[in-house]
Amino acid sequence: MSTAHVRKVAGTEPSSSVTAQNPAASADCPADSAAVPVAPAPSSAVSAHPTHPERMPVRGTPAHHLAVQDRLATWVCDLSLLHELTERLVRVPELEDALHEVLRAGATLVGAQRGMIALESADGLVPDTTVGLGLARPDLGTLETVPHEDHGARARHGDTPGGPADPSHPEPGAPAETVHRDLLHEPGLTPRHREVAAQLGLGASYALPLRAERAGRLGTAVWFYDEPTEPADRQRRLVGLYARFAAEHLARCLELGRARCTTAALTAELLPARLPRVPGVRMAVRHKAGPRGGGDWYDALPLPEGALGLAVGGVTGAGPGAVAAMGRLRASLRAYAVMEGEDPVAVLSDLELLLRLTEPARSATALFGYATAAPGGGHRLTLAGAGHCPPLVVGDLRCEYVETSLSAPLNMLSCWEAPSVELCARPGESLLLYTDGLLHRTGESADRAFARLHSAAQGAPWLVRDDPELLADHILHTVLPDDLDRADGREDLVLLVARFD
């Protein structure tokens, strides 16, 4: 006599978990539950909880399949949302923009309306920065008056019933999050905390520390609710995973920002700190370095017998290597200009020979001018160029380019040679020396860019042409409209204006 067959009930044995029931899901999702967002079980899945076997759907029944499908669908939705938010974050390279993106994404994940991130670190490598979402600058200043250490805060640790410890905290026992369900009535909060919450209309808050693996603690992200509440366990898990990724991205942004600042400081030290005072000549310069640091440079140096040397140029490449090569090239040109500055062709010939011997894999463009006072007024200029943009003479009676770009750049041919050009700058005329970054930033073809520069110089009012500082600003603003003159471009930009009285 055979015994009656007893149907197995889902949840009565370890093999009946969702992971075991769906091997395909196990292969796609990490085995560690901390790496997979766990969503609240839907109504059909609640009945399958092991503590209620009498209400569980039988394995193989439609209700059981629906519970598994609901759980898997929730996982897929959560992972898709995290993928979308992290993809948006990696497309933001600048630190301040990345901070705002983290705030917006975190607000989406925890269902908050406002938030703030305060960057601060013990080692001092992180700049103290505070940005807000839905908060004005005065509101951020008010929030900064709240004590950082609130002993009445309810901190969740790794043994939180909602799930494993937050992955953004590698240290065991460190609080993974700080939750204030009711900022106005929760016991233990400082009076200042309550006062600020009432002033800004904050009902609840949820805070997560931002900690990178190598950089350590970067700061804290806080999201605020208008009413007393707290995020659900699923929301906590998702924002914790996102915060771990966001902290690493912010650390990379900080490292990139420090590298850019270092390169910019090095470039500034290699260029003249100020322009010299030369009788009969007034000068102004505008220099903007690219994000990676480039090799564009300028120089103005007094020479023997009251002469003046003017130079602009650029080396190929970008980054610290190009900046260092630019410094060596500029220092060498200064030495050659002091020795034989009255012959610009000889100066550039010596520079080309040095570049060929010391840096055979690098080329450069350069323009050097030698200016002396003319007996009848004005100044006599002798110019020589090596593949560089032609200078522009601007005055009341003329606005024309000086053809000095008939030769190749330095270190491009077996032997560099080019003729010099002589001209007389009348009193009131200005000489514009610039690098090709000014033309490239327009985004137009070379012919159009040259025409735009010529039109900008020719259309400058008399009062603007009389002041080299005003003329330099006018040229940049006209040639690069729509705030392109202040925006960070991909290339260096140099504009040197010399007005002869």
Amino acid 313: pLDDT: 93
Task: Pick the more confident residue, 491 or 251.
Answer: 251
d(CA 262, CA 265): 5
% of the chain surpassing 90 pLDDT: 46
Q: Give the pLDDT mean for 365-388.
A: 91
Q: Among 18-22, 291-295, 365-369, 393-397, which is the least confidently predicted range?
A: 18-22
d(CA 360, CA 69): 66
Amino acid 283: pLDDT: 96
Question: Residue 102 above 50 pLDDT?
Answer: yes
Question: Residue 296 above 50 pLDDT?
Answer: yes
d(CA 415, CA 351): 12
For the chain, give every domain's residue range: 28-82, 93-259, 271-500
| Residue-by-residue DSSP string for 155-175 | EE-TT-TTSSPPTT--STT--
pLDDT band at 34 (very low <50, low <70, confident <90, very high): very low
- Type of residue at 141: G
Amino acid 484: pLDDT: 62
Question: Residue 146 above 60 pLDDT?
Answer: yes
Task: Pick the more confident residue, 469 or 260.
Answer: 469
Question: Residue 52 above 70 pLDDT?
Answer: no
Q: Among 112-126, 166-180, 239-253, 477-491, which is the least confidently predicted range?
A: 166-180
Number of Cβ atoms within 10 Å of the Cβ of 94: 14
Question: Residue 101 above 80 pLDDT?
Answer: yes
Q: Among 26-30, 98-102, 486-490, which is the least confidently predicted range?
A: 26-30
pLDDT band at 250 (very low <50, low <70, confident <90, very high): very high
Which two tokens mark 165?
């410890």
Q: Give the pLDDT mean for 25-54.
A: 38
Asked whether the beta carbons of 237 and 177 are under 8 A apart, the reply is no
Amino acid 486: pLDDT: 58
Helix or strand or coil: residue 435?
coil
Q: What are phi and psi of 171, to 5 degrees?
A: -75, 130
pLDDT band at 483 (very low <50, low <70, confident <90, very high): low
Q: Give the pLDDT mean for 349-362.
A: 89
Q: List Cα–Cα distances, 278 to 131, 225, 306, 393, 402, in angstroms.
A: 47, 64, 8, 19, 23
CATH fold for the domain made of 93-259: Beta-Lactamase (3.30.450)
Start-to-end C-alpha separation, the chain? 121
Amino acid 37: pLDDT: 40
Amino acid 469: pLDDT: 95
pLDDT band at 30 (very low <50, low <70, confident <90, very high): very low
User: Which residue from 427, 431, 422, 451 is spatially nearest to 439, judged by alpha carbons?
Assistant: 451
Q: Among 148-152, 238-242, 416-420, 437-441, which is the least confidently predicted range?
A: 148-152
Q: Give the pLDDT mean for 157-164.
A: 35
pLDDT band at 481 (very low <50, low <70, confident <90, very high): confident
d(CA 340, CA 361): 27
| Residue-by-residue DSSP string for 296-333 | EEEEEEEEGGGEEEEEEEEEEEESHHHHHHHHHHHHHH
Give the pLDDT confidence of 203-245 residue by residue, as tens digits. 999 999 998 888 888 889 999 999 999 999 999 999 999 999 9
Question: Residue 14 above 90 pLDDT?
Answer: no
Pick the CATH number of 271-500 from 3.40.640.10, 3.60.40.10, 1.20.970.10, 3.40.50.1970: 3.60.40.10
User: Which residue from 473, 381, 387 is spatially nearest to 431, judged by alpha carbons?
Assistant: 381
Q: What are phi and psi of 256, to 5 degrees?
A: -65, -40
User: Which residue from 370, 371, 390 is spatially nearest to 501, judged by alpha carbons?
Assistant: 371
pLDDT band at 11 (very low <50, low <70, confident <90, very high): very low
Question: Residue 291 above 90 pLDDT?
Answer: no
